[in-house]
Amino acid sequence: MPAALLSTHHTSVWAELVVVSGSVTFFDEDPAWEATASAGETTVIVPDRPHHIVPADDAEFFVQFYNHAAPTDG
């Protein structure tokens, strides 16, 4: 796991935290709130908002990033 996930950072695109086993607590810092996702659950990560995570010792998870291009005319 990249150490950067444990300290405050942000994404430039929408993302989703997907927990495979164990649990992961997601901390959004502005506005301040937290949510714990367990195995089979997900948490949406909003772009450009500072956040960090705290995984349980038995956590297995991944982050899915979404980058949708803006629609074009024609």
Domains and CATH numbers, the chain: 3-66 (2.60.120.10)
Q: Cα–Cα–Cα angle for 14, 39, 29, nearest 5°? A: 40
Its pTM stands at 0.84
For residue range 8-43, what is the model confidence (pLDDT) as tens digits?
Answer: 999 999 999 999 999 999 999 988 999 999 999 999
What is the rounded average pLDDT for all residues in the chain? 91
DSSP-based three-state secondary structure for 4: helix
Per-residue CA distances from 34 to 19, 27, 30, 73 (Å): 15, 4, 11, 40
